[in-house]
Amino acid sequence: MHTIQIETMALPRRRPRKTRLCWRLSFTIMFLMICVFHSVCAYFTPFGTKGLRHSHTGLSASTNGDGNSRKSGSSDPEAGKGDPPRFKRLARKMSSKSFSFNQIPGRKRAADSSDSPDRSNTARMRPSPPSSSPSSFHEPRGSGPISEAVGQHLTPEAAAPPEIFDVDARPNSQKARKVASSQSQGKGHREEGLEEDNGAGGWQRPSRVQQRREKRQQAAMDEKMRRVKIQRFGKEGLLFKDGLAGGQAGGGRDDALQCEHFGACSGCFYRSGLVETPVMENARVFFQRVARYDNFSLGLATGVHGWRTQAKLAVAPLSKWGGCQLGLYEEGSHRVLPIPNCRVHHPSINRAVQVLTEATVTMKTRAFDPASLGGSLRYVQVAVERRTGRIQLTLVWNAPGKKEAGGELSRLLKALKAADASGELWHSIWVNFRTGPGNTIFAREARSWTKLFGADFLTEKIGPSQTLFYLTPQLFRQGNLDGFEKLVTRAQEFVPAQSVVCELYGGGGVIGLNMLGKAAALRFSDINPYLGQCVDKTLQALPAKKREKVSFIIATALEALEAGHADGATVLIVDPPRKGLESEVLAHLVDRKDPYAGTLRRIVYVSCGFEALKRDAVALMDSGWRLVHAEGFVLFPGSDHLETLAVFDRTR
C-alpha cells in the first residue's frame, strides 16, 4: 500500500523522460561551453597571471599560478632558469593550504583564493577594476605587460600579499628546505602541500602524456608571449627600437635624440640642437664677451644614446594591490612616468628596471606614499659596471632597518635573484633605509646602508691612465663616465710635469689620480665619509711608485685648505657640486698672500653648474687670475646642462 502511495504521489512531479534528457543535455553543453570559454580566455590572455609567471624573467606569481603550471613545474625553460627550484616550490607551498599560511589571521581569504584552481581562474576572468584605479596609478605610455597584467587581471583577493612568503621568517623553514632537497632527488612531493592540486585529496604524479601535453601548452603560451612582445617592443625586447616618433622628428640625424618618451619625460628637453641650448649659448657669450676668451668651444662628449651609466629613479604605485613603477617625473608634475625604452640609458639600466618592476609586481612590493608615509620602495639607484654591464642596484626602503623591512624586502630580493639565475645582471644589491618625509633620496647615516648581496665594490677603469677605481653606491659617480673621461684627458694637459697638485671636492680621485703620471705629488680630499674604504682599495691597486705620491683626507674643501693641503702646491684642481665653490674657499683663492693658497699658480676648475662657474670665474679674474683655457663638454645630451673645464693662471 505504502509503496503504491509513494509512487502515486511521485508520479505527477516526474517530468517526461524526454524533457529530463533535454535538460541533462543542455546542462552538459553549457558546462562544456564554460570550460571551453575558460581555456580560450586563459590561452588568449598573454599577460595574465600565467603570463607573468612565465615572463622571460622567470618570476613566479605564486598566489595566482594555475594548477597546470604548478604541476608541470619546470616545463618552462625560461622560468626554470630564473627560479631556483627551492624558491619555486616554497612559493607553491605558501600559496597552498600550508599550515603556517592559513594560521595568519586575515590571510585566509587570500590563501583560499590561491588554493583553488577554479578561483584563480575566476581571478583571471574578472573584469578590470574600476577605471579610477589604473588612471590613478598612472598607466605608462605604451603600457607594457606589467601594467596590463595589474590593471586587468589581478583582483584584490588574488593579489593579497602572502605575508610570510619569506622563507627564513617561516617557523618551518628548515623543514621546507629538507622537503625541497628531497624533492630534488625525486621524492617527497606529497609533503610539499601540493595535495589540493588534483582536487581529489591526494597528489598524484602527472602521467608522462599529461606532462608532455602541459609542456606543449606551456611552449605555445611562451611562443605567443614572445610574438606579442616582439610586436610591441621589437626584437630587442624592451630595449632600443627604431622608427620612433623621436627619430622621425630628429630627421634620422646621428646627433638627434630618438626616444619615444621625449615630450612627456622630464629627463630630456632637447631632441636636436643639443649643443645650442640656452646654457650653452650663455657660455659662449660669457667666455667671449665677459672673459675675453675667443677660443671657447663646446661639443658632444659622446654619442647621444646609451651614455648614462648611473640613474636615480622615482617610484610610484602601479596598483593599489602592490607593484611599483619606476621612472622620472612627468614634465611639470610629480607623477612618475615609466621610461622603459629610455634611449639615453645604458641598456643594462633598462633591463634592470624591467626586472625590478616585474619583481615588485610579483611580490606585491608597495611603493612609498609621501602623503601617508606608508609603503616601502622610495627610490632606486641603478649603476652599471661598464666592463661587465652588470648592475649595482640600490633600493631606498621606507623602514628604519632590515628587521622592520621584514618579509617584503626579502621577498623582493629573492625574486630579483631568481630572475638572474645566470648572474649576468646583478653585480650587487644594496638597500638604504630612509624614513620620514622629504625628497632627499638617501639617508646618510652609516647604519642606513646595508649590502644585501654581491660584491662590495663595483670597479671601473677610468681616464687616460686607466686607473682602477673601487666604487660603492654611496659615492658620487659621473652619469656619463665615457664623456667625463674625455674631460679628464683634456684636463691632464694642463697639469705641468712635476707639479705638486692639490685637489678639492675630489670624490674618489677620478681626476687627480689620473694626473699621477705627470704630477710629483697629489693631495686630495672630499667631504664624503664613505670614501675611506674605496680610496684605500683604489690606492692599493696602484703601482707603489704612484701610490707613494698620494695623500687623501676626508674633509670639507675649506678644512682641507686650512689643514695645509694646498701648502706648497702649484696646481689646484676643483670639481665642486653645482653650487660652486664655497665663499670661504674662494676667499682663500683670491688672496694673493693667503697663507694656505698663496703658492698656487694654476686652477683647473671642472664645473657642473654654469651659473656658479660664472660667479667664481668673475671673482677669480677680478683678483689676478687669467682664464687660459675654457672648453664645454656636453655630457648630458638632451638636457640644458654643460660640464665646463676652465683653467686659470695667476698673473699677479
Ligand X SMILES: C[S@@+](CC[C@H](N)C(=O)[O-])C[C@H]1O[C@@H](n2cnc3c(N)ncnc32)[C@H](O)[C@@H]1O
Please select the residue that binds ligand X; options are 102, 272, 450, 528, rule is CB under 6 A. Answer: 528
Closest residue to ligand X, Cβ-based? 507
Grid cell digits, residue 545: 711608485
Asked if residues 361 and 323 have their Cβ atoms less than 8 Å apart, the reply is yes
| CA 188 to centroid of chain Cα atoms | 38
Please select the residue that binds ligand X; options are 557, 571, 589, 627, rule is CB under 6 A. Answer: 557
Per rule CB under 6 A, is residue 526 in the interface with ligand X?
A: yes
640 known ligand binder:
no
Q: Binding segment for ligand X among 28-36, 169-177, 525-533, 545-553 (CB under 6 A)?
A: 525-533
Distance CA 571, CA 564 (A): 14
Please select the residue that binds ligand X; options are 222, 575, 631, 643, rule is CB under 6 A. Answer: 575
Please select the residue that binds ligand X; options are 80, 476, 521, 591, rule is CB under 6 A. Answer: 476
| Nearest approach, Cβ of residue 94 and ligand X (Å) | 44
| Nearest approach, Cβ of residue 579 and ligand X (Å) | 8
Per the listing, cell 586575515 goes with 106
Q: Binding segment for ligand X among 31-39, 187-195, 522-530, 586-594 (CB under 6 A)?
A: 522-530
| Nearest approach, Cβ of residue 469 and ligand X (Å) | 9
Tell me whether strands 550-554 and 571-574 are parallel, antiparallel or unpaired. Answer: unpaired
Q: Is 373 helix (H, G, I), strand (E, B) or coil?
A: coil
293: closest CA among 637, 583, 32, 625? Answer: 625
| Nearest approach, Cβ of residue 503 and ligand X (Å) | 8
| Nearest approach, Cβ of residue 283 and ligand X (Å) | 18
Q: Facing residues of 275 across strands?
A: none
| Nearest approach, Cβ of residue 509 and ligand X (Å) | 8
Distance CA 40, CA 42 (A): 5
- Residues with Cβ within 8 Å of residue 503, at least 6 apart in sequence: 509, 511, 512, 522, 523, 524, 525, 572, 573, 574, 575
Nearer to ligand X, 342 or 635 (CB): 635
Nearer to ligand X, 46 or 507 (CB): 507
Per rule CB under 6 A, is residue 572 in the interface with ligand X?
A: no
| Nearest approach, Cβ of residue 603 and ligand X (Å) | 14
Nearer to ligand X, 96 or 474 (CB): 474
- Single out the catalytic residue among 268, 324, 502, 608: 608
Tell me whether strands 297-300 and 625-634 are parallel, antiparallel or unpaired. Answer: parallel
Asked if residues 349 and 382 have their Cβ atoms less than 8 Å apart, the reply is yes
Phi, psi of 71 (to 5 degrees): -70, -40
Grid cell digits, residue 562: 686650512
Nearer to ligand X, 246 or 508 (CB): 508
Per rule CB under 6 A, is residue 556 in the interface with ligand X?
A: yes
Torsion of CA 580, 581, 582, 585, to 10 degrees: 180
Number of residues binding to ligand X, judged by CB under 6 A: 18
| Nearest approach, Cβ of residue 609 and ligand X (Å) | 9
- Kindly write out the interface string for residues 384-423 of this chain, putting x where it contacts ligand X by CB under 6 A and - elsewhere: ----------------------------------------
Nearer to ligand X, 42 or 646 (CB): 646
Distance CA 568, CA 499 (A): 10
478 known ligand binder:
yes
Q: Binding segment for ligand X among 4-12, 149-157, 306-314, 572-580 (CB under 6 A)?
A: 572-580
- Kindly write out the interface string for residues 498-517 of this chain, putting x where it contacts ligand X by CB under 6 A and - elsewhere: -------xxxx-xx------
Q: Binding segment for ligand X among 1-9, 104-112, 336-344, 521-529 (CB under 6 A)?
A: 521-529
270 known ligand binder:
no
Distance CA 398, CA 432 (A): 9
Distance CA 256, CA 56 (A): 32
CA 582, 583, 586, 588 torsion-angle sign: negative
H/E stretch holding 645 = strand 643-650
Phi, psi of 551 (to 5 degrees): -135, 145
Nearer to ligand X, 58 or 508 (CB): 508
Per rule CB under 6 A, is residue 527 in the interface with ligand X?
A: yes
Nearer to ligand X, 125 or 612 (CB): 612
Q: Among residue numbers 576 through 635, which ones bind ligand X (CB under 6 A)?
A: 576-577, 582, 608
Q: Is 268 a known active-site residue?
A: no
Asked if residues 469 and 507 have their Cβ atoms less than 8 Å apart, the reply is no
| Nearest approach, Cβ of residue 526 and ligand X (Å) | 5
Distance CA 173, CA 181 (A): 12
CB atoms within 10 A of CB 395: 25
Nearer to ligand X, 78 or 582 (CB): 582
Distance CA 449, CA 395 (A): 10
Nearer to ligand X, 51 or 507 (CB): 507
| Nearest approach, Cβ of residue 613 and ligand X (Å) | 12
183 known ligand binder:
no
Asked if residues 316 and 336 have their Cβ atoms less than 8 Å apart, the reply is yes
- Kindly write out the interface string for residues 108-147 of this chain, putting x where it contacts ligand X by CB under 6 A and - elsewhere: ----------------------------------------
Q: Binding segment for ligand X among 122-130, 190-198, 272-280, 526-534 (CB under 6 A)?
A: 526-534
Per rule CB under 6 A, is residue 329 in the interface with ligand X?
A: no
Distance CA 479, CA 639 (A): 13
Distance CA 417, CA 453 (A): 9
Nearer to ligand X, 420 or 485 (CB): 485
Distance CA 336, CA 380 (A): 13
Half-sphere exposure of 625 (CA within 13 A, CB side): 28
Q: Could you tell me the CA-to-CA distances from 489 to 18, 120, 485, 502, 517 in Å, in that order?
A: 94, 60, 6, 18, 12
Annotated binding residues, written as ranges, equal 478, 505, 526, 575
Residues annotated catalytic, as ranges: 608
Q: Which residues bind ligand X (CB under 6 A)?
A: 476, 478, 505-508, 510-511, 526-528, 556-557, 575-577, 582, 608
Annotated binding residues for S-adenosyl-L-methionine, written as ranges, equal 478, 505, 526, 575
